[in-house]
Amino acid sequence: MTERIQSVVVAALDEINLTREEKIPTDRVLDLCLYGDSGVFESMYLVAFLSLVEENIEDEFGAEVSLTSEKAVSRRVSPFSSVRRLVGFIEEELELVGVRG
Amino acid sequence: MRDELVRRFEDFGTRTALFDRGTAVTYAELLKRIRDTRERLALHGVKPRETVVVHGDYSTDSVATLFALFLDRNVVVPVVTLTDTTLDTLTEHCRPSHLVGTTEAGVEIRDLAQPTAASTGQSGGAGPAQAAAPDAAEGAGTVHARLGDPGAAGLVLLSSGSTGAPKVILHSLDVLVGEKLQKRPRRRPNALNILMVLMFDHIGGINSLLSTLLVGGTAVLPRHRTPDEICALIERHRILVLPTSPTYLNLIMVGGYHRTYDLSSLRLITYGTEPMSDELLDRVHRTFPGVRLLQTFGTSETGIATTTSESSSSTYFKISDAGVEYRIVDGELQLRSRTQFLGYLNYDDDSLTEDRWFRTGDLVEEAADGYLRIKGRAKEVINVGGEKLLPLELESVLMGSPLVEDCVVYGRPNAITGQAVCVDIKPSGELTRAALRKHVTEFLAGRVEPFKVPSKINVVDTIAMSDRLKKLRSRPGADEE
């Protein structure tokens, strides 16, 4: 399941890259920091990116998760500090709604 | 005033007052129906100054009942869709003594103070009425007393608030009728032929009805309000005036009904109830080139103001009504009118300033020459991390895309930027969400600031419209009032 989630996230990054002049590097994608000091997104674009991921997750797993919730932003270790953590957070959220790998 | 109204109806005599389901009803016939209804109401024990709910949409019966109750100095509560919740609200705050049902089967008068077998039957909503029975007479007196004039009739309207119980708004019906009686009767019959698109329980609908009948015009009553039926009626009755809303006009054009039917009789289209975008107005103007387009403005609380549009292709308008004063405070339009409501029966009057101006909740801009333009509702402002956007602004741009048939923009809360911009789009033709998102992103690039680009795009089959003909902007999870 981790891999499936990961490909959903990467596909979203690829789609965003289509319309960006400054491309987001996806070679070491798991360590890519999404938001914060070295993050690739400003807050507004982060929300758009997360919406896209939510949408693609819904298409892939048939379940809705929220990535912009209070829960997501109040984590001690932010799910936006790397793609790996975002994938982990999505996996937990999917398990909560009964989707298992 | 009552004598003047009856005299006018007598004078209009054989002119057509109403077209009800295709049948012409003359003023003489309407007057007779009003007299019969007064007798029936009296027989059922309806007393002056009691509050009476009139359930039903426009029909000869509902119109006759409205005037009968006006003449008898009652407080009238027109309700098109009577749900249990609505009846509960009315029972609690208006204590109606009777319910007059005006359906195709005819008129049924129910005594809410003394429930009968019929009232406890399948029609529903009898429970709350029974519970309130002992206080009905006393409660009705209280509502009438708030009119401050024992000789007046009242009108109660329910606001279509998106959240919570509807606001119960009390007007003096005498004041509303009195305003219209100041207008001189039309000399020529059929000089004013108007289609009642707005509802019977809506301030705009009541305003259209009174404006038409008190000067001897003809009101055409639709049974349904589909664009198809409305356009068929325009063709059939050679309608001159169409009071409507931007959303509704878009539905007519998108459906091509202006091509299916002959709408060449139209002389005036008035639009109100929600803001009009420049893009849509431009399209309406091109579609109906010879028709004058007029922005109307009003609220359930202040009544409908007489307005003048700068031109048929301009969304700027002036409030040109001796009975209405306006001012703009912090971008919001405030009104004080002769036809102002007397108060809410179930809410504090917190929408009134200390000096009794009504806060409309509409954000407007004023041009140098006193023309106003409505930008949107204050509560609909979307705040994306401190940057603000009004839905109409973005909708107007999006409607310029050939792939967008209609759309609705709204804010959705999130924990990162506070709110995010979302849009539901009904595409023209088949499009996947991914394809539409790509198109929207490309289309908006360079046209709007980046924060206005929706972070979420949904493909929908229909853009929902309220029975007030407004786009429904309230979405699950969207910010509420």
Q: What is the ipTM of this complex?
A: 0.85
Cα radius of gyration (chain A): 13
State the first-to-last Cα distance of chain A, in angstroms, to the nearest integer.
Answer: 4
Could you tell me the pTM of the whole model? 0.81
Asked if residues B301 and B340 have their Cβ atoms less than 8 Å apart, the reply is: yes
SS3 content of chain A, % helix, strand, coil (to 5): 55, 0, 45
Beta strands in B66-163 (DSSP E): 75-79, 98-103, 106-111, 154-158
B381-459: CATH class: alpha beta
Q: What is the pLDDT of residue B481?
A: 33
- For the domain that residue A79 is a member of, what is the CATH number? 1.10.1200
Residues of A in contact with B437 (CB under 8 A): 52
User: Which of B384, B433, B441 shows the shortest C-beta gap to A19?
Assistant: B441
Q: What is the pLDDT of residue B470?
A: 82
**Residues near B287 by beta carbon (within 8 Å), at least 6 away in sequence:** B253, B258
A101 within some domain = no
Residues A44, A47, A49, A50, Cα dihedral to 10°: 170
* Bridge partner residues of B250 (DSSP): none
Helices (H), B160-226: 173-181, 203-213
**From B383, which residue of chain A is nearest by alpha-carbon distance?**
A44
Residues of B in contact with A18 (CB under 8 A): 438
A2 in contact with B, Cβ within 8 Å = no
B195: helix, coil or strand? strand
Q: What is the pLDDT of residue A66?
A: 92
State the count of interchain CB pairs (< 8 A) between A and B: 43
Write out the H or E segment, with its range, that includes residue B88: helix B84-94
Q: What is the pLDDT of residue A36?
A: 82
**From B412, which residue of chain A is nearest by alpha-carbon distance?**
A68
The DSSP bridge pattern shows strands B456-459 and B418-427 to be: parallel
d(CA B407, CA B458): 10
* Bridge partner residues of B423 (DSSP): B409, B457
Locate B477 and state its tokens: 């999870």
User: Which of A19, A51, A74 shows the shortest C-beta gap to B455?
Assistant: A51
Asked if residues B69 and B52 have their Cβ atoms less than 8 Å apart, the reply is: yes
Contact flag B456-A74 (C-beta cutoff 8 Å): no
Q: Which amino acid is at B225?
A: R
Shortest Cα distance, chain B CAs vs residue A47, angstroms: 7
Residues of A in contact with B450 (CB under 8 A): 44-45
A66 within some domain = yes
Closest alpha carbon to B323 in B301, B305, B296:
B305
Taking every pair of Cα atoms in chain A, the longest distance, rounded to a whole number of angstroms, is 39
d(CA B347, CA B354): 16
Shortest Cα distance, chain B CAs vs residue A38, angstroms: 17
B420 in contact with A, Cβ within 8 Å = yes
B169: helix, coil or strand? strand
Contact flag B416-A69 (C-beta cutoff 8 Å): no
Residues of A in contact with B456 (CB under 8 A): 51, 55
Q: What is the pLDDT of residue B466?
A: 81
DSSP B155: E
- The Cβ of residue B209 has, within 10 Å, a number of other Cβ atoms equal to 25
A80 within some domain = yes
Shortest Cα distance, chain A CAs vs residue B375, angstroms: 24
**From A56, which residue of chain B is nearest by alpha-carbon distance?**
B434
Buried b (16+ CB within 10 A) or exposed e, B97-111: bbbbbbeeeebbbbb
Q: What angle do CA B141, B335, B302 make, to 5 degrees?
A: 35
A64 in contact with B, Cβ within 8 Å = no
Q: What is the pLDDT of residue A37?
A: 79
**Residues near A66 by beta carbon (within 8 Å), at least 6 away in sequence:** A54, A72, A93
- Collect the ranges in chain B with pLDDT lower than 50: 116-141, 476-481
Closest alpha carbon to B344 in B472, B168, B90:
B168
Q: Tell me which architecture the domain covering B2-178 has in CATH.
A: 3-Layer(aba) Sandwich (3.40)
d(CA B195, CA B77): 22
Domain boundaries, chain B: 2-178, 381-459
- Collect the ranges in chain A with pLDDT lower than 70: 101
Give whole-number Cα distances, B55 to B61, B98, B279, B318, in Å. 10, 11, 38, 35
Q: In what order do the strands lie in the sheet with B307-309?
A: B307-309, B317-319, B372-377, B358-366, B332-337, B324-329
Taking only the tens place, the pLDDT of each residue in B296-352 is: 999 999 999 989 999 999 999 999 999 999 999 999 999 999 999 999 999 888 899
Q: What is the pLDDT of residue B127?
A: 40
* Bridge partner residues of B220 (DSSP): B19, B195
Shortest Cα distance, chain A CAs vs residue B72, angstroms: 58
**Residues near B368 by beta carbon (within 8 Å), at least 6 away in sequence:** none
A21 in contact with B, Cβ within 8 Å = no
Q: Given CA atoms B243, B244, B250, B255 in this order, what sign does their dihedral have?
A: negative
Shortest Cα distance, chain A CAs vs residue B410, angstroms: 15
- Give the count of domains, chain A: 1
d(CA B110, CA B124): 13
Residues of A in contact with B434 (CB under 8 A): 15
Measure CA B41 to chain center.
28
User: Which of B385, B433, B441 shows the shortest C-beta gap to A44?
Assistant: B385
Q: What is the pLDDT of residue A98?
A: 86
Taking only the tens place, the pLDDT of each residue in B91-102 is: 999 999 999 999
Give whole-number Cα distances, B429 to A59, B74, B283, B399, in Å. 22, 52, 19, 14
**From A49, which residue of chain B is nearest by alpha-carbon distance?**
B455
Q: What is the pLDDT of residue B473?
A: 73
